[in-house]
A and B are shown apart, each in its own frame.
Chain A
């Protein structure tokens, strides 16, 4: 199966649930398990939260999500045109948080990496960040 979707919304935290719901419904076009669906929704929630609270920390902007289904694989790209990440390796370390808020766990990228098959982060300070994640579904269903 081949299909794609595109969603765009302002960087308001109320839109986190919108984002994971829309991608979740799109993903159900694949024959996936409840757990695989939950993994995808959780990873999307993390990436969108990062875009809103880090990418657009002190400003407002637009978050764009592009989803593609190809065969039994879903690819999701979440893009912001916010502040960008100065040091991607540091940002991706478990428990590192770029936020001063002590209640941020620093687990966002770890969740994305663990719940999806691949994760690619492109970022340029001052230009923005683009996160692409892929997951093949149904692979281990009968393993």
Chain B
């Protein structure tokens, strides 16, 4: 799992690459949270174009960030999910909470 992040104003673009499971979720979470606090981020764009696999550990990770930013009046957006990722996003009901495209 590699992760690239770029802050544009108060929006953070996060591009994870590889597989998201429980073994990397905690590290991914602390990397994202550090940038959220450091750059006073309100909105999060998760670019999942490079994510080849995700299990429910990723769902927990997204819900946690969504709640955090919602409390600040911000938004979470998921873009370019691959079919396997899209299916688990759908099952989790997360697509009703976050914009997904």
A: residues with CB less than 8 A from B are: 13-14, 16-17, 20, 34-35, 38-39, 41-42, 45-46, 49, 52-53, 101-108, 110-111, 114
Chain B positions within 8 Å of A, measured between CB atoms, are 19, 21-23, 25, 29, 53, 55-57, 59-61, 63-64, 83-84, 87-88, 91-92
Which residue of chain B has the shortest Cβ distance to A104 in the bound complex?
B60
Distance A105 CA – B60 CA, assembled complex (angstroms): 4
* Chain A binding surface, main DSSP class: helix
Contacts A41-B53, A42-B55, A107-B60 supplied; 5 other A-B pairs, CB < 8 Å: A16-B23, A17-B23, A35-B87, A49-B21, A107-B56
Contacting pair A111 B56 (CB below 8 A): yes
Residues of A contacting B57 in the complex (Cβ-Cβ under 8 angstroms): 49, 104-105
In the complex, what distance in Å separates the CA atom of A112 from the CA atom of B77?
26
CB <8 Å contact, A102 and B55: no
User: Is B88 within 8 A of A103, CB to CB?
Assistant: no
B55: which A residues are within 8 A, CB to CB?
42, 45-46, 49, 111
Q: Which of chain B's residues has its CB closest to A24's CB?
A: B53
CB neighbours (8 Å) of B22 from chain A are 13, 16, 49, 52-53
Complex Cα distance, B45 from A135, in Å, reads: 35
In the complex, A85 Cα to B64 Cα: how many Å? 25
Other-chain residue from A38, A105, A114 in contact with B59 (beta carbon distance below 8 A): A105
Q: Is the CB of A111 within 8 A of B64?
A: no
List chain B residues, Cβ under 8 A from A38: 53, 83-84, 87
CB-nearest residue of chain B to A107 = B56
13 example contacts (A-B, Cβ-Cβ < 8 A) are as follows A16-B22, A16-B23, A35-B87, A39-B87, A42-B55, A46-B55, A46-B56, A49-B22, A103-B25, A103-B60, A107-B91, A110-B91, A111-B88
The interface residues of chain B lying within 8 Å CB-to-CB of A20 are: 53
The listed residue (B23, B83, B84, B92) touching A107 by CB distance below 8 A is B92
The 9 closest A-B pairs by CB, nearest first: A13-B23, A105-B60, A107-B56, A38-B84, A105-B59, A45-B55, A103-B64, A103-B60, A49-B22
* A35-B83, A45-B55, A104-B60 known; A114 vs B91 contact (CB < 8 Å): yes
